[in-house]
């Protein structure tokens, strides 16, 4: 996900010449780098999901340009939403800063109890 965002940012930065295009390219590249490092993962991945939704709904046009080469935007949006809900991995900066999260699944009384 992060590598794809870096690639999209590099592509937009290479083909775009306007200020909004450069701003979108910079945001895509920075969010990709932060996702690769695993820093501020829930925030960055939710922004990436929102960015992918804007590209998908907007007919693949953002910042005044039309690029059909940005076709994997719906897939990137789905992966970004999954990362929002799953959180960072064990080898991320977020894990080192905030600690690992433990998932606890509670059982209802009398449900699937060994007898």
Higher pLDDT, 112 or 52: 52
In a domain, 112, yes or no: no
What average pLDDT score do residues 62-91 get?
71
* Mean pLDDT to the nearest integer, 21-45: 87
Phi/psi for 63 (5° steps) reads 60, 30
Q: How far apart are CA 3 and CA 9, in angstroms?
A: 10
Q: Is residue 56 part of a domain?
A: yes
Does the residue 94 lie in any domain?
yes
108 domain residue, yes or no: no
Q: Is the pLDDT of residue 72 over 60?
A: yes
Domain contains 107: no
Average pLDDT rounded to a whole number, residues 72-100: 80
Is 93 a member of any domain? yes
> How many CB atoms are closer than 10 A to CB 47?
19
4 vs 29, 56, 80, 96, CA distance in Å? 9, 16, 11, 24
SS3 labels along the chain: CHHHHHHHHHHHHHHCCCHHHHHHHHHHHHHHHHHHHCCCHHHHHHHHHHHHHHHHHCCCEECCEECHHHCCHHHHHHHHHHHHHHCCCCCCHHHHHHCCCCCCCCCCCCCCCCC
Is 76 a domain residue? yes
Range of the domain at 32: 2-98
Do the Cβ atoms of 38 and 91 come closer than 8 Å? Answer: yes
In a domain, 86, yes or no: yes
The tally of domains found in the chain comes to: 1
């Amino acid at each position: 996900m992060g590598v794809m965002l870096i690639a999209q940012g590099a592509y937009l930065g290479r083909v775009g010449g306007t200020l909004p295009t450069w701003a979108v390219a910079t945001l895509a590249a920075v969010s990709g780098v932060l996702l690769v490092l695993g820093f501020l993962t829930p925030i960055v991945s939710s922004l990436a999901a929102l960015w992918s939704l804007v590209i998908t709904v907007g007919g693949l046009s953002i910042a005044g340009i039309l690029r059909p080469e940005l076709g994997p935007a719906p897939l990137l949006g789905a992966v970004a939403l999954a990362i929002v809900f799953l959180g960072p991995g064990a080898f991320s900066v977020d894990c080192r800063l905030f600690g690992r999260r433990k998932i606890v699944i509670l059982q209802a009384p009398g449900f699937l109890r060994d007898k």
